[in-house]
Each structure stands twice: as structure tokens, then as C-alpha cells.
Amino acid sequence: MRDHVGNRAVVLGGSVAGSLAARVLAEFYHDVVVVDRDTVSGVSVTRKGTPHAGHAHGLHARGQLILEELFPGFTEDLVRKGYPVGDLGEMRWYFNGRRLPYTKTGLLSVTPTRPILEHEIRSRVAALANVTYLERHDILGLMSAPGGGRVVGARVRSRDHAEEVVLDADLVVDATGRGSRTPAWLEEMGYERPSEERVKIGLAYTTRFYRRVPGSFEDTWSINPVASPEHPRGAFFGLSDQDRCIVSLTGILGDHPPTDPEGFLEFARSLPVPDVYEGIKDAEPLDDPTTFGFPASVRRHYEGLRRFPAGLAVLGDAVCSFNPVYGQGMSVAAWEAMTLREHLREGRFDPAVFLGEIGKVVDNPWQVSAGGDLAFPGVEGKRTPETEMGNAYVGRVQYAASKDPEVAKGFMRVAGLIDPPSALMEPGMAARVMDASGDMTTSDGGVPVMVHPPAEQKLPGAA
Ligand SMILES: Cc1cc2nc3c(=O)[nH]c(=O)nc-3n(C[C@H](O)[C@H](O)[C@H](O)COP(=O)(O)OP(=O)(O)OC[C@H]3O[C@@H](n4cnc5c(N)ncnc54)[C@H](O)[C@@H]3O)c2cc1C
């Protein structure tokens, strides 16, 4: 243990964000207890507490780099076990029906199924001597000190004995995901709830697994025609191990991919490129299609609260649940865990400072995804000149990326959360974008864009 900050930390939720937080907390607390309502030990299939885990997930560049730092050898181990890992630029990406050239970015994407990835993370965290997973326990609420200025523990109840237990803690970390009850708990303790921002996308994923067709996936392991305003239906089609592939079809604003096999195939046929339909039409299905609805992206602005109790932190989807098609959530959870680590290296936990730091981590990914969603007519949310201009430029970047591998590379660095979106506006890159998109027409999704915004205007995500 590096610097002792407290005796016990309790993490609420033992999924990706909770396990990564526990990994970091184990460096600073004698004892770390992770509570989850499900049996999680050894589980590498979709479970009740994480129904979204049955759908396509990719851990992109920043998340991969962080996992490698927290668990040296993580990526190589996945490769050894036969899970797909490769260069982010060598996935087959389509935007607006146009294919991006394969390009070596030097950035990795890791795409076993989400339950496998979660299991690989959790088994490493559970192996730490001072971390315990308290499974099959419902989280009931927080315990606070008299006066309510400090959280001192959590109340949990066993699912097997209906027995209520109080877990004392110097720090409680809420990683219970999108359904987090911290806003309600704050209110009960006499604090304000965080303000909430929502972008109503009306998205659904419908997913099916297939046996890999011999000879398929020769030049890539992942084929992704991503939804765009001109083609709002999208898909993620990739190997999940050597023998199986996963297809998640995506549709927005109520145009949801069906769960009946014929409807599923028909939806795949309606995509702007044939790759997914051709890849599955004769393949052997391994299960029935299942669907998951995602009505809106939700950001809770904890960084804006004037008062917050000591001894409490929030991270992961509990803070911000991003539109999943951008593949950001797990990387942001990992980034937040690293932010927690940096914060605790100061030798104490200050919730106001920490939540401000988390707000900064969320800013750019939120502007990319929530801002990007506003390019779709019909999506409800607040449109500003900044978002309109940013989306017009991103459309141009995607067009240019289909012609210029250097632009594709720059775009992947932003999508992989390595560079901020403002990197795409740097003079050298902006010149390439304008050169390569000079012949773009309105039927390509092209709208006029100012390359040099007036000084008082900033593109989404610009520092
Ligand atoms: C369809 C879909 C696809 C996605 N694809 C990607 C992708 O490609 N790349 C990417 O990076 N991200 C993706 N994401 C986002 C990603 O799944 C999450 O951002 C990430 O897993 C972090 O989640 P979390 O750990 O904060 O919360 P969750 O994964 O929701 O976990 C919360 C945990 O808390 C437990 N819990 C909750 N309430 C209680 C309670 N009262 N008592 C006890 N236990 C409780 C649950 O059992 C669960 O284990 C996707 C999301 C969706 C919906």
C-alpha cells in the first residue's frame, strides 16, 4: 500500500467502474469491500444486474492503455486466450456509408464480449489481498454521521438471508451505474440533487451471436457501419472469440431492430453497406436476438453542486451514461479510476475537488457523443451554434477520413479518447480535412462550415 488514506473503502457496484475503482482504492485503503446484488465471482456471461452486457462492446484506445497500466500484461493475456485485439484503425469503419481506409494508428481496441472483459478485470481485482467482493447483497442506502456532513458507510442486505448489514467506511464510492440512487440519497440527507442533462436518442440495440463462417474476417475482425444522420441505422459486427461473432444492430428514435429472426435479417439488409447482411445471411445463429433500449444519454452534473458530503464519491455510468454507439463508457470509467488514483495520491479525499476533476474527464466525451447525437434531426436536446458548427465539421472530417488516411488516423485518436476534439481543428489537420472534403456535396451530408470559428466560439470539446 502506497499512502494510507483510510481504513476501509466500500464500493457500491462490482461491474467495470466499481472493479476499476476498487483496484485503485486497494493502493490507499487497508480494506476494500465491493458490493453487488449479483453473483459476480467467476461469472463471464451476461447477468441480471448488467443486461446491456449482452450487446457489442469495444474497449478503445484510452481504456486499453489504462487497463494495461493497472494490470500489466492484460492485453497480451487476452490475445493468448484467443480474444480479438487489434489496431483501432484496422477495424472496418463506415461513416455515412463511406469506408475509411485501414490505417495503422498504433492504438489498440480490445473486443471480447463485455462479460468476458468484465470477468478478466474483476478476477484480477478480486485476487488483491485487501479486496473482497460482497456478492448477492442489495444496496439499501448510505449511513451518515450526525448532522449529515459525512457519509460513514452503507446499508446492504443479503439476498439469501434478508439480513441487513451496515458496512462502516471512510469512503463510499457509488458505481451502481445509470440507475444510481445518489441523487435521491443526497436529497434525503438535505443536499441538492445534481442537475441532469438528457439527450433523447430513443436508441435500441438488438443482438445475435453466430458461429464464425470459415474464411470470414480475413482482413479485419470488426466491421462497423456506424449510424449517421443520412443513414440512422447502424451495426457492430465482429469476432468475439475465434469461433463466434456478434452482431448488434442499432436504430434510433423508435426505429428499433426487431427481435424476430426474419425482421433482424431484413434490418441488416437495410444498412447502407452489404457487409453485415452478407456476413450473417448464411451463418449459423447461436441464440435468439435480444434487445436493449437506451432512451437517452444522461449526464449528472455533480461538479456543479455547492455542497456535497465528505466520504462519498460517484463515478462511471452513475455520473454519465453516454450513447453507447461511441464506445466511450468503459474507457471513461477507467479514466475516472485513474483520476481517483491521482487524487488520493494527495493523501486525502476531497469530494468537491474530485467531482470537479470527474466533470473535466466527462466534458470532452460528452460533447463528442451528446453533441454528435444532436446532428440527428428529431433528437431532443439543446442545440447551440457550437454544436451545429461542430457537427458540420465532424461530417466533413468523416468524409475526408474516407479519402485521407492521416485524417482517418486523427479521427481515430479522438474517437479513442486519446486526443481532444480540438485536435481535429489544428491548422495542419484542418487543411487536410478541407482539401479532402473539397468535393463534398449536400447529398454527402455536407453543409458549409467555418474552419476558423470566431474567437468567442469554440467547437464542442475544444479546451
Ligand atoms: C448497449 C450498450 C453498449 C455499450 N457499448 C460500449 C462500448 O462499446 N464501449 C464502452 O466503452 N462502453 C460501452 N457501453 C457502456 C458501458 O457498458 C458502461 O459505461 C460501463 O460498463 C461502466 O458501467 P458501470 O460499471 O458504471 O455500471 P454498470 O455496468 O451498469 O454496473 C453497475 C453494477 O452495480 C450493481 N448494482 C446496481 N444497483 C445495485 C443495488 N441496488 N444493489 C446491488 N448492486 C447494484 C449492478 O449489479 C452492476 O453490477 C455500452 C453500454 C450499453 C448500454
C-alpha cell at 311: 466520504
Give me ligand 1 centre to Cα 219, in Å.
31
So what's the pLDDT on residue 443?
66
Give me ligand 1 centre to Cα 12, in Å.
12
The residue nearest atom 11 of ligand 1, judged by CA position, is 330
Asked if 227 and 175 touch (Cβ cutoff 8 Å), the reply is no
In the predicted structure, residue 399 carries a pLDDT above the cut 90: yes
CA 25/CA 45 separation, integer angstroms: 26
Residue 230's CB: how many other CB atoms inside 10 A? 14
Average pLDDT value over all residues in the chain: 94
- Span 170-195, average pLDDT: 98
Give me ligand 1 centre to Cα 50, in Å.
6
CA 386/CA 393 separation, integer angstroms: 11
Number of the ligand 1 atom closest to the C-alpha atom of 175 = 26
Model confidence, pTM: 0.95
- Rounded to whole angstroms, the maximal C-alpha distance in the chain is 68
Phi and psi at 224, nearest 5°, equal -130, 90
Q: Looking at this protein, which amino acid is placed at residue 408?
A: A
Out of 37, 60, 65, 185, give the residue to mutate to test ligand 1, the one with the largest number of ligand atoms within 8 Å of its CB: 37
- Span 184-207, average pLDDT: 97
So what's the pLDDT on residue 383?
87
CA 171/CA 311 separation, integer angstroms: 4
Alpha carbons within 13 A on the beta-carbon side of 292: 18
DSSP H or E run through 425:
none
In the predicted structure, residue 177 carries a pLDDT above the cut 90: yes
CA 173/CA 159 separation, integer angstroms: 21
- Span 393-416, average pLDDT: 96
Number of the ligand 1 atom closest to the C-alpha atom of 236 = 8
Which neighbouring-strand residues pair with 285? 210
Continuous H helices in 26-92: 61-70, 74-80
Number of the ligand 1 atom closest to the C-alpha atom of 331 = 11
267-301 pLDDT tens trace: 999 999 999 999 999 999 999 999 999 999 999 99
Torsion, CA 457, CA 201, CA 297, CA 231, rounded to 10: -70
CA 58/CA 63 separation, integer angstroms: 10
Asked if 26 and 128 touch (Cβ cutoff 8 Å), the reply is yes
Number of the ligand 1 atom closest to the C-alpha atom of 17 = 25
Out of 33, 36, 137, 222, give the residue to mutate to test ligand 1, the one with the largest number of ligand atoms within 8 Å of its CB: 36
Give me ligand 1 centre to Cα 218, in Å.
32
In the predicted structure, residue 263 carries a pLDDT above the cut 70: yes
Q: Which pairing describes strands 171-174 and 312-314: parallel, antiparallel, or unpaired?
A: parallel
The residue nearest atom 28 of ligand 1, judged by CA position, is 177
Work out the pLDDT band at 386, boundaries 50, 70, 90: confident
So what's the pLDDT on residue 446?
61
Asked if 166 and 4 touch (Cβ cutoff 8 Å), the reply is no
Work out the pLDDT band at 457, boundaries 50, 70, 90: very low
Give me ligand 1 centre to Cα 349, in Å.
25
Give me ligand 1 centre to Cα 317, in Å.
6
108-128 pLDDT tens trace: 999 999 999 999 999 999 999
Which residue did the predictor score with more confidence, 455 or 59?
59
Give me ligand 1 centre to Cα 118, in Å.
10
β-sheet with 29-35: strand ranges across: 131-134, 29-35, 6-12, 171-174, 312-314
Work out the pLDDT band at 456, boundaries 50, 70, 90: very low
Work out the pLDDT band at 451, boundaries 50, 70, 90: very low
So what's the pLDDT on residue 66?
98
Work out the pLDDT band at 162, boundaries 50, 70, 90: confident
So what's the pLDDT on residue 441?
76
Work out the pLDDT band at 1, boundaries 50, 70, 90: low
- Span 368-388, average pLDDT: 90
Non-local (6+) Cβ contacts of 274 within 8 A are none
So what's the pLDDT on residue 453?
39
Asked if 360 and 367 touch (Cβ cutoff 8 Å), the reply is no
309-356 pLDDT tens trace: 999 999 999 999 999 999 999 999 999 999 999 999 999 999 999 999
The residue nearest atom 19 of ligand 1, judged by CA position, is 329
Asked if 32 and 11 touch (Cβ cutoff 8 Å), the reply is yes
E strands in 145-281 = 151-158, 164-168, 171-174, 195-211, 222-226, 234-239, 244-251
In the predicted structure, residue 49 carries a pLDDT above the cut 50: yes
Which residue did the predictor score with more confidence, 51 or 443?
51
Q: What percent of the chain has pLDDT over 90?
A: 89
Give me ligand 1 centre to Cα 16, in Å.
7
CA 169/CA 313 separation, integer angstroms: 12
Q: CA–CA distance from 406 to each of 89, 93, 104, 410, 428 (Å)?
A: 11, 15, 10, 6, 11
407-445 pLDDT tens trace: 999 999 999 999 999 999 999 999 999 999 988 876 666
DSSP H or E run through 351:
helix 351-373
Q: CA–CA distance from 22 to each of 2, 135, 143, 151, 185 (Å)?
A: 15, 14, 20, 18, 22
Q: What percent of the chain has pLDDT over 70?
A: 95
So what's the pLDDT on residue 323?
97
> Which residues approach ligand 1 with their CB closer than 6 A?
13-18, 35-38, 49-50, 52, 55, 57-59, 138-139, 175-179, 205, 292, 294, 316-318, 324, 327-331, 333
Give me ligand 1 centre to Cα 200, in Å.
19
